[in-house]
Amino acid sequence: MSTAEIPSTYDPRLVEDKWYSFWEKSGFFHTTVNAEQEPFSIVMPPPNVTGQLHMGHALDNTLQDILTRWKRMQGYNALWLPGTDHAGIATQARVEESLAKEGLSRYELGREEFLKRVWVWKEQYGSRITTQLRRLGASCDWRRERFTMDEGCSEAVLEVFIKLYQKGLIYRDYYITNWCPKCHTTISDIEVEHLDQPGHFYHIKYPFKDGGGHVTLATTRPETMLGDVAVAVHPGDERYRDLVGKILILPLVGREMPIITDEYVDPSFGTGVVKITPAHDPNDFEVGRRHDLPQVIVIDKEGKMSEEAGPRYQGLDRYECRKKIVRDLDAQGYLLKTEDHAHAVGHCYRCNTVIEPMLSRQWFVKMKPLAEPSIEAVKNGRIRFIPERFTKIYLNWMENIRDWCISRQLWWGHRIPVWYCRDCEEMTASKAPVKKCARCGSLNVEQDPDVLDTWFSSALWPFSTLGWPRQTLDLAYYYPTTVMVTGRDIIFFWVARMIFSGLAFMNEVPFRDVFIHGLVMDALGRKMSKSLGNGVDPIDVIESHGADSLRFMLVTGNTPGNDLRFHFERLEGARNFANKLWNASRFTLMNLEDFDPEGRPGAYTLADRWIISRYQAVINDVTGYLQAYELGEAARVLYEFIWSEFCDWYIELAKPRLYGKTNQTDRYTAQSVLSSVLKGALELLHPFMPFITEEIWQHLPGHGVTIMRAPWPAARGELIDQDAEHEMGALMDVIKAIRHIRGEMNVPPGRRAEVLLVAPDKAVRAVLEKGTGYIEALAGAAIKTHKSLEQPPEQAAHAVTRGVEIFVPLKGLIDVDKEVARQEKELAAVEKELARVQGKLSNPGFLSKAPADVVEKEKAKEEELSSKQTAIKERLSMLTGGK
């Protein structure tokens, strides 16, 4: 085997495209039903068809790929099914922006022509994100790729709508919904992001009709008062008992309205009096229904004041209207006071526009009947959340769920399959187009113009992608899927909806496990966003550092459910790890050129037994962590084993048998262990870093077609050697102690130290004597081992570890006077800096004015400098004999 085949430095660009193309063209990602094999299945959370890869996608898909590659190597028939979502609001907005550049609107084009444009857009940009996922290394079965509006998924959507409608679980009604004035559509409650922002409480007096005084109430939205139809107090509030039933006059409008009682009112909040605006507040809407109050719509779908707002305010933007109303209230003596008040304001999650509660006729799904079995499925353990704390969050939401508004005022999406007769108003739900009214025979029928919420189709994803409503072999074999991997931010958007959909239409849960991960934040812990300009493009990172480095950085230090901060230093660390692995592999391959895989090794040395035993433990640890979804811990174990134990220790321990005057059997034994442990470590690492592991693995003796198809390593209990691990651990600690002394005392690297080891315990001495060669080779020392010493040597650095005293005489090893001068200079610098820090910390002004984190940093610095001062003094005392 020639090392000329493997470059001296690792360049991901030369490796990644080559191997991904090989895997995909060879069909290694593709799987088919095999009754003899246990299935593992996972469906990809479908990214927006017009989107592009962001760090959230990179994390989510890296985790899925790790699980899929691991299970594939374990021998499962592993299916990772990819696909994209039509993303109704986002995609339509993109196309409308494109049309606007041409001076056109969708209304000018008409629905049919507009939809043609959207499909063209989808074909042009829809493959961008799937191409980027390939760059990440996603081992999806691309031959099965689905789209939420492909023929099969669309059939599933129609089937579900009709069945729910026929069961009375889908209905149409007037209701308050969240309206986005920019996207021009309703959005569901969970698509509203509530952001804290500064505002005001406006205290307004509402006079009695009979002129006998007024009541005072406070509101944050005075523009909605134009739609007030009542004022409410709590039925148990004694302050207002005598006022109930009296009539008030609405300021600026003159509308008469009653004072009513309702349990909804919180008597301890504000004045205990609330205005009731049924057309512009969901809680007021419910109060209005209970009391049969009128509904006055004063804000339209553009976010402007309607005709009902009156001629003085009609046509004004809602915020301009607010300013004008406040001025008018003040001028007419109705505004009593204004207080600053920060409060949560709902924003559209797509465009960040402040949403407007709007009364409109929409389609809804009755959620209570669907939620009950979904709650039970989690409570009885048929579905489990990882980490478990998300179970409570899910159950709390499901137990308090409201009906789901599923209609959207868009053209792009699954159009609601309901037709209306213009003549007799008959309403017909049908999978097939309705041409004629079944009730009156009229041909004057039209389809509902709205489309279904995008989440309606993605709620069916685990079974619609496998062929449902047809009873396919894939559906019977791969459903329910094994695990759903998703971010903590879409438990309600998607996970809950998939659960109730799967139970309702498959009579089975959609997945057994829900593996929740956090979000990728910037280095300061903020969400990545365009507005902040703090986003990091995964493709840029792949170009500069390689996909493996990005993947490994995203998974290391990542614990289930917790957010992850993106640090470029951690990315550099992942790339350094890849380079370390590459260099160690080159060294190994360089020393395998005469290796015969068919040969027979001789007796294992202590180092051999140690690394083989440690490798068995690593197999068990990594496999156990993967089974527990602790992917970050699995990556940590591999990092520490490969970087430290294999590269830094075993390779160095093996070098004398590879380079020295040794017999061929000893050389072959070292080659055999190096080769087998490296090969196994690569196979364990492959799910995390697929490209570099494939490239190196292909150069090792005895490799197969692809590392992807290599069997997952299995630990062999008989190779676990606790004695070897204990003995080697003791020798390593001694070597580290000697190295530390050399570094502290500035001993030149090439100068050999005379080291005395004192071990009263016979067994410990035996270990030291057996490992003398290792210590001498790796510590640059000549070793003498003693049971005891009558008197410690003069001017000797001293350390104790594992019951072993270590003495390194410095006379003749270093220039003592010169080293004393160096240490004294360093001590002076440390003490000067320590005095400066202590001066700061003794200054009351600094302690009272400086931020807490700055003070803590100074305290930590003081502790570090104090420790350094003590260590230098101890070294000086040893060098000078305590003088």
Q: Is residue 241 part of a domain?
A: yes
Residues 140 and 214 in one domain: no
**CA dihedral (529, 531, 534, 536) positive or negative:** positive
- For the beta sheet containing 185-187, the strands, ordered from the edge strand earlier in sequence to the opposite edge, are 185-187, 170-180, 356-365, 404-405
Are 513 and 483 spatial neighbours (Cβ–Cβ below 8 Å)? yes
Q: What is the pLDDT of residue 33?
A: 97
Residue 747 included in any domain: yes
Q: Model's pTM, two decimal places?
A: 0.85
Are 195 and 345 in contact by the 8 Å Cβ rule? The answer is yes
**Residues 497, 566 within the same domain:** no
Residues of the chain with pLDDT under 50: 1-4
What would the DSSP string read from start to end of 417-432? Answer: -EEEETTT--EEE-SS
User: In this structure, are 608 and 690 located in the same domain?
Assistant: yes
Chain centre to alpha carbon of residue 279: 39
CA nearest to 70, candidates 678, 561, 555:
555
The DSSP string of 837-879 is HHHHHT-HHHHHHS-HHHHHHHHHHHHHHHHHHHHHHHHHHHH
Token reading at 855 = 């003070």
Closest Cα partner for 53 from 421, 393, 540? 540
Beta bridge partners, 340, equal 200
CATH of the domain at 20: 3.40.50.620
End residue of a domain, out of 324, 341, 358: 341
The distance from CA 718 to its chain's CA centroid, rounded to whole angstroms, is 40
The answer to whether residues 580 and 672 belong to one domain is: yes
- Is residue 510 located within the same domain as residue 634? no
pLDDT of residue 815: 67
Domain of 862, CATH number, reads 1.10.287.380
- Rounded Cα distance between 111 and 447, Å, is 13
Compute how many other C-beta atoms are within 10 angstroms of the C-beta atom of residue 6. 17
- The terminus-to-terminus CA distance of the chain in angstroms comes to 61
530 is in an annotated binding site: yes
Contacts within 8 Å (CB) and 24+ apart, 580-583: 580/642, 580/643, 580/647, 581/642, 581/647, 581/685, 581/692, 581/696, 582/9, 582/10, 582/692, 582/696, 583/647
Question: Strands 247-249 and 256-261, how do they pair?
Answer: antiparallel
- Amino acid, res. 722: Q
Tokens at 306, concatenated: 């309607």
Which residue is it, tokens 């500069």? 544
CB distance 690 to 29 below 8 Å: no
Side by side, which strands form the sheet with 427-429?
427-429, 418-421, 445-447
Same domain for 135 and 32:
yes
In the sheet with 230-233, reading across from the earlier edge strand, the strands are 247-249, 256-261, 230-233, 273-276
Residue 189 covered by a domain = no
Estimate to the nearest angstrom the gap between the alpha carbon of 784 and the chain centroid. 55
How far is Cα 348 from Cα 179, in angstroms, rounded to an integer? 9
Q: How far apart are CA 352 and CA 687, in angstroms?
A: 38
Both structure tokens of 657 = 């048998």
- Looking at beta carbons, which pairs linking 768-773 to residues 24 or more positions away fall under 8 Å? 768/730, 768/731, 768/734, 768/804, 770/606, 770/727, 771/606, 771/727, 771/728, 771/730, 771/731, 773/656
Structural domain of residue 736, as residue ranges? 725-814
Given 763, 783, 814, the domain boundary residue is 814
* Same structural domain, 287 and 212: yes
Degrees, nearest 5: CA angle 102-106-107: 120
Tell me, yes or no, whether 825 and 808 share the same domain: no
The helix (H) or strand (E) run that includes residue 129 is helix 128-136
Structure confidence at residue 208 (pLDDT): 93
Domain for residue 849, yes or no? yes
Tokens standing for 331?
Answer: 């001028």
CB 137 within 8 A of CB 478: no
* C-alpha span between 514 and 207 (Å, rounded): 56
DSSP state of 628: T
247: in domain: yes
Position 673 in a domain = yes
Given this model, what pLDDT does residue 522 score? Answer: 84
Examine the domain organization and report whether 689 and 775 are in the same domain: no
For residue 737, give the CATH number of its domain.
3.30.2320
The amino acid that residue 365 corresponds to is V
Say whether both 535 and 623 belong to one domain: no
How many residues belong to the chain?
Answer: 883
* Whether residue 807 is found in the same domain as residue 847: no
DSSP code of 241?
A: G
d(CA 647, CA 580): 8
Q: Which residues have CB under 8 Å from 100's CB, separation 6+?
A: none
Q: What is the CATH number of the domain that holds 646?
A: 1.10.730.10
- Residue 555 placed within a domain: no
Q: Which two tokens stand for residue 832?
A: 């000067």
> Which residues touch 396 (CB under 8 Å, ≥6 apart)?
none
pLDDT digits (tens, 9 = 90+) for 102-130: 999 899 999 999 999 999 999 888 889 99
* pLDDT score, position 881: 66
Tokens coding 544? 């500069």
Q: Which of 26, 24, 34 is nearest to 82 (CA)?
A: 24
Q: Is 194 helix (H, G, I), strand (E, B) or coil?
A: strand
Distance between CA atoms of 431 and 161, rounded to whole angstroms?
A: 9
Chain centroid to CA 876: 51
Contact 550, 571 (CB under 8 A): yes
Q: State which of 781, 814, 847 marks the end of a domain.
A: 814
> Does 847 share its domain with 737?
no
Query: Nearest to residue 478, comparing CAs of 139, 150, 80, 147?
Result: 80
Domain count, the chain: 5
Tell me if 292 is assigned to some domain: yes
Q: HSE (CB half, 13 Å, CA atoms) of 296? A: 20
